[in-house]
Amino acid sequence: MSYWNEQLVIGNRAYPRFIGGPLDGITDSPFRKIVRKFSTEELLYTEMRHVACVSNDKGRARTLDFSQAERPLNYQVSASGTDYVERACELIMQAGVDAVDLNIGCPARLVINTGAGSAMMADLPRLEAVLKLFRRCLTVPFTVKMRAGFKQKNAIDVAKLIQDCGVDALAIHPRLQTQMFTGNPDYALAAEVKKAVNIPVIISGGVVNWATAQAVYEQTGVDGYLIGRGIWSRPWKLHELKEHSQGRIYKVDSSLILLSALEHLDNMMAYYGEKGLYAFRKHLPFYIKGGLHASQIRSKLMISQSVEEVKEGLREFFRV
């Protein structure tokens, strides 16, 4: 069987190689539901939530407010140390997920100031204690998403530690914390990480279409592809990648984009109530990007207070 026909095995489960990555505020429950319409088997990561938020959530923060129809789901958490880990793992597993992911790659100041995210990569004894505790608490597969390093590249040492602590798979976004989300991902480093460990290695960074997936495979030899910004307002992206990898052609036309945008808006209204319209504004420009008169329609729809007006505007736009 060829590489592209084989599946990615994480613990006791197998998945297609293309995975829906975590984008905070973007790949939320309403969005994941549309992705599921296109892709039934693919693993989807949730957005990152700190274990303290999960443990203390009495319902208001909605940290566990997702639908079972979104599964298979990899629930992503961050942690600053061993506090709250046990309770969070218990609640997440009770909610029903297929895996739990620990983020040790987030570069955001608010996150690293608490010692979580990529700051963990600069403190290996603390990281080891946290990894071992997660492993003890979890009865579902456990994954870790890391960076190239915090201020300095130490991904190989961290990957070996992750493997030694019994983690089932790791994802690497091969940039330093200081690079945030820009600059070229260090694919050579990802290739070294792949060679250094036996657990599956998933790449995150720069895979947006079939051509980039193939190029990244050639440079890294990784086992899976976490699609981040490439899936933003393109809920069909994992399906598109799978079709191309199987030698089939997949074309996205304007009626598919329109249907996705309308359904996305409906899902957001159902999930967030009246705030759904405002939350949809971060997606709207991406749906209409590049089209004729996109900037005019964007200016109009971005200030609209009416769901019906936005829907009608989208229908008109795609009719042009």
Residues that bind ligand FMN (CB under 6 A): 21-24, 26, 47-48, 76, 103, 105-106, 145, 173, 181, 204-207, 227-230
Question: Whose Cβ is closer to ligand FMN: residue 33's or residue 50's?
Answer: 50
**Nearest approach, Cβ of residue 97 and ligand FMN (Å):** 15
Reduce the DSSP state of residue 102 to 3 states and report it.
Answer: strand
**Nearest approach, Cβ of residue 234 and ligand FMN (Å):** 12
**Nearest approach, Cβ of residue 20 and ligand FMN (Å):** 10
Return the number of other C-beta atoms located less than 10 Å from residue 240's C-beta: 23
φ and ψ of 314, to 5 deg: -65, -45
**Nearest approach, Cβ of residue 233 and ligand FMN (Å):** 12
Ranked by CB distance to ligand FMN, the top (closest) residue is 228
- Alpha-carbon torsion, ordered 27, 33, 34, 40, to 10 deg: 110
Q: Is 123 exposed, middle or buried (0-12, 13-18, 19+ CB in 10 A)?
A: middle
Question: Whose Cβ is closer to ligand FMN: residue 207's or residue 258's?
Answer: 207
Q: Which residues are within 8 A (CB) of 118 and not within 5 positions of it... i.e. 6 or more apart?
A: 104, 105, 106, 107, 111, 112, 146, 147, 149, 150, 177
**Nearest approach, Cβ of residue 121 and ligand FMN (Å):** 13
Residue 266: closest CA among 280, 283, 254, 256: 280
Question: Whose Cβ is closer to ligand FMN: residue 228's or residue 276's?
Answer: 228
Question: Whose Cβ is closer to ligand FMN: residue 78's or residue 318's?
Answer: 78
Question: Whose Cβ is closer to ligand FMN: residue 173's or residue 244's?
Answer: 173
